[in-house]
Amino acid sequence: MNKKSVEDVVVKGKKVLVRVDFNVPLDEKLNITDDNRIKAALPTIEYLLDKGAKLILASHLGRPKGVGFEGKYSLAPVAARLEELLGKKVTLASDCIGESAKNSVTKLKEGEIVLLENVRFHKEETKNDPDFAKALASLAEVYVNDAFGTAHRAHASTEGVTKFLPSVAGYLLKKEIDIMGNALDNPKRPFVAILGGAKVSDKIGVIENLLKKVDTLIIGGGMAYTFFKALGYEVGKSLLEADKVELAKRLMEDAKATGVKFLLPVDNVVAKEFKADAEHKVVDSDKIPADWEGLDIGPVTRELFGKEILNAKTVIWNGPMGVFEFPAFAKGTEAVAEYLSRCDGITIIGGGDSAAAVEQMGYSDKVTHVSTGGGASLEFMEGLELPGVAALQDE
CB 358 within 8 A of CB 349: yes
267 CB neighbour count, 10 Å cutoff: 19
Among 37, 51, 237, 244, the one annotated catalytic: 37
Single out the residue of 86, 160, 176 nearest to residue 128, CA to CA: 160
Estimate to the nearest angstrom the gap between the alpha carbon of 16 and the chain centroid.
Answer: 25
Instruction: Specify whether 29 is catalytic.
Output: no
Instruction: Specify whether 87 is catalytic.
Output: no
State how far the Cα of 168 lies from the Cα of 389, in Å rounded to an integer: 9
State how far the Cα of 368 lies from the Cα of 312, in Å rounded to an integer: 13
* Burial class, 362, CB count within 10 angstroms (exposed 0-12 / middle 13-18 / buried 19+): exposed
174 CB neighbour count, 10 Å cutoff: 24
Instruction: Specify whether 199 is catalytic.
Output: yes
Among 220, 236, 352, 374, the one annotated catalytic: 352
Pairing state between β 90-92 and 113-115 = parallel
Instruction: Specify whether 352 is catalytic.
Output: yes
State how far the Cα of 193 lies from the Cα of 169, in Å rounded to an integer: 27
State how far the Cα of 336 lies from the Cα of 358, in Å rounded to an integer: 9
Among 134, 199, 249, 313, the one annotated catalytic: 199
Q: What is the dihedral angle through the alpha carbons of 111, 114, 120, 121, rounded to the nearest 10 degrees?
A: -170
E strand spans, 251-330: 261-263, 267-271, 280-284, 293-297, 314-318
Phi/psi of residue 244, nearest 5 degrees? -115, 10
Q: Which residues are catalytic?
A: 37, 199, 352, 375
